[in-house]
Every structure is written in structure tokens, then in C-alpha cells.
Amino acid sequence: MIQVAMLWLVNDKGELLLARRADHKAQDPGLWGPSVTGKLEVGETFEDAVVREAEEELALDPNSYTPNYLFETDFHHPDGELRKFKVFTAAISDELIKTLRFDTNEVAEIKWLPVGEIKKLLNSKPGETIVASAFVLWGQIFEALEKREDS
């Protein structure tokens, strides 16, 4: 089983950051996915991985935000590997957004979208526009985010 940490960044307007994976990536090249994702390294916790990946992929200072746990779930990836995802979210200010710099070895581009626009991407075909896990996980993520907003 592959363990994967996932972080969704939320701006002051409630939009989520999507990242398009670099075209040369072995897994899901050129597809849109969450703000930050990454496999755990040996001895690393999910929390450690999410902070490391955010710093590597977006130059996000680990002292400038707080990852909040949403849920964890298993996902049977089309490549045949079982993945355990632990999903986090973090609100970041407009000031902090100005400091984001994505690593082109990891990320081809980023964009902020409201949840409604992201849901429209789920009408695409798997592997065409967005990562395969989106079709299983993103609905759960949007529900968890809505519950947090209602609290």
C-alpha cells in the first residue's frame, strides 16, 4: 500500500487551489489534482509529508499555515496499487498566496477555482483532465469542507 498525503489550500474567497502535474511525471502527467500531494517517505508521518510536499512544490513556509485533518480513505488506483490517502486542508491569506512559487519539476501550473467549477471537471473522462482519485475522493472532500463551513 502506498501512503499519500493530500493538502487542499483554500483562499479568502473560499476557492481551492488546483495544481496541474508536470508533463514528465510518471504518475498522472499533465493532469489537474489537489494543491499538494505526495507519497510518504520512510519514517515520515502524513503530517510531515504534507508540510514537506507543500514546501517542495509551492515554496509554502511551514510556519505560515496550519494543515487541518479532514479524513483518510483507501483508493484502488487504476495502476493496481492500493493507496491510503490522508486529506488535509489549510486556509491561506492573500498575502501568503503572493509568496507561492511552484516547482516546475513537480507542477506545470496552478489555478484557484470555486468548488462549483471544480465539480464540473468531474464530468470529464478519467485520465483526460484530472487525476483518477478525483472521481472517488473529491466528492468526499467537498462534503467535508462544507461541513466545516457549516460548523
Q: Which DSSP letter does residue 125 get?
A: P
Residue 72: partners with Cβ closer than 8 Å, 6 or more residues away? 46, 84, 85, 86, 87
| pTM of the predicted protein model | 0.92
| Measured torsion, CA atoms of residues 113, 36, 45, 64, in degrees rounded to the nearest 10 | -70
Containing domain of residue 91, as a range?
2-150
- Going by the DSSP 8-state scheme, the letter that residue 99 receives in this structure is T
Contacting residues for 45 by C-beta, under 8 A, at least 6 apart: none
pLDDT on residue 65: 95
Q: Is 48 exposed, middle or buried (0-12, 13-18, 19+ CB in 10 A)?
A: middle
The reported pLDDT for the residue numbered 79 is 84
What average pLDDT values come out for the chain (151 residues) when binned by 10 residues? 95 95 91 94 96 95 95 89 94 94 93 93 83 88 80 60
Domain count, the chain: 1
pLDDT for the residue 150: 66
Q: Is 121 helix (H, G, I), strand (E, B) or coil?
A: helix
Which residues pair with residue 109 across a beta bridge? 20
3-state secondary structure 23-55: CCCCCCCCCEEECEEEECCCCCCHHHHHHHHHH
Distance CA 13, CA 16 (A): 9
Residues forming beta bridges with residue 111, ordered by sequence position? 18
Cell triple for residue 106? 513537480
Q: What is the reported pLDDT for 132? A: 87
CATH code: domain of residue 14: 3.90.79.10
Q: What is the C-alpha to C-alpha distance for residues 76 and 70, in angstroms, rounded to an integer?
A: 20
